[in-house]
A and B are shown apart, each in its own frame.
Chain A
Amino acid sequence: DQQVKQNSPSLSVQEGRISILNCDYTNSMFDYFLWYKKYPAEGPTFLISISSIKDKNEDGRFTVFLNKSAKHLSLHIVPSQPGDSAVYFCAATPYGSGNTGKLIFGQGTTLQVKP
């Protein structure tokens, strides 16, 4: 059972425009969400995160929005640059006294930013 879903395997965007990557989750115990970016032959790189007590977090060109009632989060990249072309993973971790902090990942979305 996939608890974190990224339903779009790929996305293509023109340079300078907005990229919107979406993620849905099913487990209401998740309380912290992260986005990672991955280039080929490299490990995932942390990009931005959001706690469930917030609905928005911004860091430069990257903004993550969280809609808890819909169990949905999105990553906005504005403006998109060719160097943003990579695979983006959404991840979540549940709260609780026994929480180890392990991350549950989506399947990833491949973003291509065209010059």
Chain B
Amino acid sequence: GAGVSQSPRYKVAKRGQDVALRCDPISGHVSLFWYQQALGQGPEFLTYFQNEAQLDKSGLPSDRFFAERPEGSVSTLKIQRTQQEDSAVYLCASSSVDTYEQYFGPGTRLTVT
């Protein structure tokens, strides 16, 4: 596929469970971003990778959030011991190195019950 894909599209977790969200960026895109979008709000930055290096994780809300991109392509966002306030849509975006335009995946809607 030509676009950014994310899986699963929907995830329901019981409070306290761990979840893993996957992102497949556009082939060849060096930069990969994760955002969190709460209901009725704009996306908020979580973390940024350039290839496999995580260069900015200033937006991760707590140490329960962890992201990796070990081979510089697919990325996983992991949330440990989920809380109700983690309920949101998690968006992944990728871009090439010479542009600011980011291309977003469809998102994963996480609901913590």
Contacts and interface: CB of A to CB of B under 8 A. Distances in A.
A and B physically associate:
yes
Interface of A: 4, 6, 32, 34, 36, 41-46, 49, 89, 91, 93, 100-108
Interface string B33-75: 1010000111111001010000110010000000000000000
B44 A43 contact: no
Interface residues of B, number: 27
Interface in B78-113: 91, 93, 95, 100-107
B2 to A, nearest CB: 13
Given A108-B40, A108-B41, 17 more contacts: A32-B100, A36-B104, A41-B106, A42-B107, A44-B43, A44-B91, A44-B104, A45-B104, A49-B100, A89-B42, A100-B50, A101-B33, A101-B100, A102-B56, A102-B59, A103-B35, A103-B45
